[in-house]
Amino acid sequence: MLKRKLGLLDATSIGLGAIIGAGIFVLVGIASGMAGPAVVVSVIISGLSATFTALSFAELGAALPRAGGVYEYGHELISPSFGFLLGWMWIFGNIVMGATASLGFGYYLSSVFNFIPFKVGALAIITLVVFFNLIGVKQSAIVNDLIVIVKVLVLLLFVFVGLPRISVSNFENFLPNGIVPVFQAAGLFYFAYIGFPRISTAAEEVKEPEKNIPLAILFALFISTLIYILTSVTAVGLVGYKNLSNSTTPIGDAARELGLGGIVELGALLATFSVVLTSVMGQSRIFFAMARNEEVPSILSKVHEKFETPVYSVLLSGSIMAILASTIDISGLASLGSFCVLFTHIFTNYSALKLYNSLSKYDTPFKVPLRPLHSIIGLIMSTVLALSLGTNTILIGISACFVGILWYAVYTKIIKK
């Protein structure tokens, strides 16, 4: 069993640590190239979709406060096999997310220290966060709390100094590529929000989970959405969408216009570090839950006697992340990560609908007004954004699905027996 060591602040900080990272510091540039100045609208669309889904996560997290998040919801409310598939896709998507964030760290580190190749920086940060996750969840949470404070203050400083200096002319020709790329950019930028469910994966380590999990999810998403909107408006207004789209460090480049380049680059390094940190934390907890249900090798549920962490799950998560960061470019990783997590969010919203139809069976201490409307809207929006990500991304994502189905069929039906 995992022990409850995390309070509301820790849980909210895990969410903010997982959310604010490569999405705003790196991917806003790629999204700007797709949507133009309307990238601000893309950020809002992504945030709305994430909000409706977050309400479903809040209800489910309060009703089923177990390690594993989407895996447990699907397992309990749909079927064990479908729960496994959701856990599989969530793990794959978040490993991709962690690899993307590590590359974002590498880009900003290389921008500060030109002699360090960006992939070397990416692999170094993965190694460091694996170490922190091995020595204990509370220690990781303390490190993450401090980083979250710094990176939020850095972005607020960027907005406070930069917003009064934006040029309205940078928002002319608002839709240079039409409306469809705005939704495509929203699908890509959803990557920037997908960290909020990570709070639910650590549910067995959160104190008073029925109250603290819903509050932490909503607090983390509200704070990050507000910061994202203000930051994207400031960045586009300062340097224009074309300059952002041509940069691997777009917020850092915009900050140099204000004389804040060094401070923002430090914030970007800390932000991407905390995303990788919480990514490994979240993935390892789902591996842990799957192993406990005998759907992956039982060694992944082994908890270290001294550190009280799922040590082999942590090592496996970090190893896969390192391989991806070494082989795939950041834009491809981000799109794939978004698709995989959006896939799980479609069925998380469906799980919330199933929860609503099973009220007599489950205690639901957190109830959303007008339920289950939020789950229906979240399901539809997640589907639209997933389908907007392009044929290649969808095909790779579906392939990952089939690999998961094959693993479940072989391991549970043959190997386990």
Give 329-376 pLDDT, tens digit per residue.
777 788 888 898 899 999 999 998 988 887 667 667 777 778 889 999
Cα–Cα distance between 76 and 83 in angstroms, integer?
Answer: 7
Q: What are the CA-CA distances from residue 51 to residues 71, 73, 382, 410 (Å)? A: 20, 18, 11, 37
Strand partners, 6: 206
Considering the domain boundaries, does residue 380 fall inside one?
yes
What's the whole-number average pLDDT of the chain? 84
Domain count, the chain: 1
Considering the domain boundaries, does residue 2 fall inside one?
no
pLDDT(412) > 80: no
Considering the domain boundaries, does residue 3 fall inside one?
no
Between 169 and 24, the higher pLDDT residue = 169
Considering the domain boundaries, does residue 1 fall inside one?
no
Among 213, 250, 179, which Cα is nearest to 23's?
A: 250
How far, in whole angstroms, is CA 176 from its chain's centroid? 29
Give 86-130 pLDDT, tens digit per residue.
888 988 887 888 888 888 889 888 888 888 898 999 999 998 888
Give the residue-averaged pLDDT of 136-140: 58
Q: How confident is the model at residue 318 (pLDDT cuts 50, 70, 90)?
A: confident
Give the residue-averaged pLDDT of 136-141: 59
Buried b (16+ CB within 10 A) or exposed e, 304-314: eeebbbbbbbb
CATH no. for residue 259?
Answer: 1.20.1740.10
Tell me what pLDDT residue 236 has.
94
Considering the domain boundaries, does residue 416 fall inside one?
no
Tell me what pLDDT residue 67 has.
59
Amino acid identity, position 128: L
CB 26 within 8 A of CB 250: yes
- Dihedral angle sign, alpha carbons of residues 131, 132, 133, 134: positive
Tell me what pLDDT residue 417 has.
57
Give 238-289 pLDDT, tens digit per residue.
999 999 988 888 998 899 989 988 888 888 888 888 778 777 777 777 777 7
Give the residue-averaged pLDDT of 140-161: 82
Considering the domain boundaries, does residue 270 fall inside one?
yes
Domain with 364, as residue range(s), is 8-411
pLDDT(136) > 70: no
Q: What are the CA-CA distances from residue 109 to residues 10, 123, 129, 323 (Å)? A: 27, 12, 16, 19
Considering the domain boundaries, does residue 417 fall inside one?
no
Tell me what pLDDT residue 144 has.
65
